Amino acid sequence: MRRSDKEIKDSKEIATIMEKALVCRIALIDDDYPYIVPVNFVMRDSHLYFHSAAEGKKIAILKKNNQVCFEVDDGVEMVQGDYPCSWGTKYLSVIGFGRAFLLDEIEEKKKALNCLMKKYAVRKYFTYQEEALKKVIVVDIRVDNITGKKSGYK
């Protein structure tokens, strides 16, 4: 990281950003071109989970190449200055790299979906229709590397 003064070294602070952020952008490699897609997500231990329809561009790409990069941000604010080059942005961000795997086992899917639902719905217990569980794809990104960065925050 070029600006080591902005690096977040505390893993708990990175975990807090991951928990508070509502959207994660997943970057994929589609042959010679990058492809990025926003998803709802949850991070547990060294796993980032999101769900998807069984078909579509991101799933087709992941089946060819499971290497991914992801980014989340929170607390983003514009900081106005007196002249154009004195403006800035206040932010907290996390970038990570890993490999994506499609979960096949129903119980694994339920566990990941429960984590997602707890994050967004703030409930503890959920029931799922068996047919829906068979159709939904749950992606497990096993995180190899993760870093945090902040600007404008103490």
Question: What is the Cα–Cα distance from 18 to 21, expressed in whole angstroms?
Answer: 5
> Considering the entire predicted model, what is its pTM?
0.90
Which pLDDT score is estimated for 94?
A: 97
Q: Which residues contact 69 (CB under 8 A, 6 or more apart)?
A: 26, 27, 95, 96, 97
pLDDT in tens, 2-54: 667 678 989 999 999 999 999 999 999 998 899 999 999 999 999 999 999 99
Query: pLDDT, tens digit, for every residue of 96-130?
Result: 999 999 999 999 999 999 999 999 997 777 889 98
Res 123: pLDDT = 74
Mean pLDDT, the chain, as a whole number? Answer: 92
> Average pLDDT, stretch 76-103?
90
Mean pLDDT, residues 84-88: 85
In the chain, where the domains are located: 4-147
Q: Quote the pLDDT of residue 77.
A: 79
Would you say 109 and 140 are in contact if contact means Cβ atoms under 8 Å apart?
A: no
- The CATH number for 4-147, chosen from 3.40.1160.10, 2.60.260.20, 2.30.110.10, 1.20.1050.10, is 2.30.110.10
Backbone angles phi, psi at 12, to 5 degrees: -70, -35
Q: What is the residue-wise DSSP string for 99-133?
A: EEEEE-SHHHHHHHHHHHHHHHH--S-----HHHH
pLDDT in tens, 46-75: 999 999 999 999 999 999 999 999 999 998
